[in-house]
Structure 1
């Protein structure tokens, strides 16, 4: 049986995580802007990435607040967008998809910018500008294609009600009670969309892998080419990227698991999907905590303030 009631424990969790994320990210953004001058212009790319992560958490925990209805390929929202502005859950889903892919793409851009900054110091391995701009265009294009494709998979409300009456008539009264729900059909086109999304993710992971290996190799050469101060600047930037890549990999695993649950219809799937959403919503909070622990400029600032107090 599917539970159509709003789980208060999950809503309270959303509120706690959202508030925690707001506090940690506000502090982190302040440190990045005013305490990391040594990073130079590179910190602005990190700034954009952290802002996108922050917006994703705020969207999920306050504006959307999704409630899955697994094993039915459906769900509803109880957040600000739905309850206050009557925005359908489908559009909240599109925003989530757009933000998730944008996060990964900006993280790739951060790696690329640092790679090129190190390459400039070594005067080698420079990427052609036309190829660089083509990569930016392809990133934006793929993101919009994915979101438009997902939008085209949406059923009209009449079709959704017909689907419920035909395939899920035992839940008809339950669906009539809730608002802002969406129900989808696993068509061949929808499966192709999921495959396309997974392939895009695999390609981005491949880019991370290649870029990391090359950066680490260049850092060995760079140490003998520039001053210790400039080398430390590059080293701290790379450390920041590695920390954020680790947290992104950890917290972006749940969307992949959700696809598996949807495809194979596992038992106790509703609880599992709720746990995945909880896991995913921790991304920017864990990202900031990891930076406070492992990113020298953030850690040093906190230690200085503690000793001053």
Structure 2
């Protein structure tokens, strides 16, 4: 029998509230900087903005609206966020929304890379994809979240099926589940295993494509360095740098859900704390992305440098005025 703690982990709730507050500040700054400090990047900044929007929605949904509390290795859990007060079936709907958001997050980053690759390819007139390929990419990105969301929702058991499963598989925890105002529990079925395997396959295929894109992007950038003006090269270099930064931060949005999928598939025991940590880290994706962009992305970094210089100059002027008086 598993050792499951049904009490609400206070550290996790405090963490969610802290991340939610921090996320509002950092993601608002990210919106502002992408909108007003990246205008030289032309159309690419709209792809960058879409990625920022997806990161913000992910953070807000996880740390404020949802606040999930998992019971793994039992495939069950409940939520403590705002949605539990406004939805009739809060856990099921919140989980489905989260799944769709994660897909959108991955897709938005992929489209950023795809657009930057094609903008470089157009300049060099090589490796330009045919229109049908571009169209198919956008169609797949539009359809995948819908199909994934519907498929995942159909896997969710009814309340009657959930109680029957608890009585059958976890009778010792019946009183604990009855004490919860709401929860969802899944039975590990062939359909669910197939779904998660399909999900891992899709993520793996996407990562393979991204790797090919990035290798070609770095190759084309080395060629462009001697063929275009410094200002034009810097614009493309900044765009590639944003992709490099996002690769590191996107690992949070990809590796953590993949980690949860792996422990579900391979039935890793005593992993309740591990899943809590994995879910908690995903909720910081947008904040981590903005912080890393402030450090490594030139337009963001230049803005912060100018802001600090202005502040320092005002402080010096104020101190001078005091000394004069």
Q: Distance in 1 between matches of 2:263 and 2:294?
A: 34
Which stretch has the larger CA shift, 265-274 or 40-49? 265-274
Alignment match, 1:114: 116
Alignment match, 2:137: 135
Deviation track 1:191-234 (CA, whole Å, cap 9, x = no partner) reads 00000000000011011100001111111111122111000000
Deviation track 1:133-160 (CA, whole Å, cap 9, x = no partner) reads 1111123333322222211111111111
Alignment match, 1:194: 196
2:257 aligned with 1:255, yes or no? yes
Aligned residues: 309
Q: Distance in 1 between matches of 2:7 and 2:257?
A: 23
Equivalent residue in structure 1 for 2:24, among 18, 22, 25: 22
Q: Distance in 1 between matches of 2:269 and 2:286?
A: 30
Q: Distance in 2 between matches of 1:124 and 1:166?
A: 61
TM-score after normalising by structure 1: 0.97
Tell me how far 1:9 sits from its aligned partner. Answer: 1.2
Alignment match, 2:165: 163
Which stretch has the larger CA shift, 140-149 or 6-15? 140-149
Q: Is the 8 A contact 1:146 1:193 kept in 2?
A: no
Q: Is the 8 A contact 2:92 2:184 kept in 1?
A: yes
Q: Is the 8 A contact 1:39 1:233 kept in 2?
A: yes
SS in 1 for 2:45: helix
Alignment match, 2:226: 224
Tell me how far 1:251 sits from its aligned partner. Answer: 4.1
Q: Is the 8 A contact 2:16 2:63 kept in 1?
A: yes
Q: Distance in 2 between matches of 1:286 and 1:73?
A: 28
1:96-111 alignment, distance < 5 Å: 96-111=98-113
Alignment match, 2:291: 289
Equivalent residue in structure 2 for 1:234, among 219, 232, 236: 236
Alpha carbon RMSD of aligned pairs, Å?
1.3
Q: Is the 8 A contact 2:102 2:253 kept in 1?
A: no
Residue ranges of structure 1 left out of the alignment (5+ in a row): none
Alignment match, 2:149: 147
Bigger-Rg structure (1/2): 2
Tell me how far 1:88 sits from its aligned partner. Answer: 2.4
Which stretch has the larger CA shift, 45-54 or 248-257? 248-257
Q: Distance in 1 between matches of 2:308 and 2:29?
A: 15
Residue ranges of structure 2 left out of the alignment (5+ in a row): 312-325
Deviation track 1:88-136 (CA, whole Å, cap 9, x = no partner) reads 2111111111111111111111111111111122222211112111111
Alignment match, 1:176: 178
Equivalent residue in structure 2 for 1:278, among 264, 280, 285: 280
Which stretch has the larger CA shift, 75-84 or 42-51? 75-84
Q: Distance in 2 between matches of 1:260 and 1:128?
A: 36
Moved over 6 A (4+): none
Tell me how far 1:82 sits from its aligned partner. Answer: 1.1
TM-score after normalising by structure 2: 0.92
Q: Distance in 1 between matches of 2:224 and 2:241?
A: 15
Q: Is the 8 A contact 2:106 2:254 kept in 1?
A: no
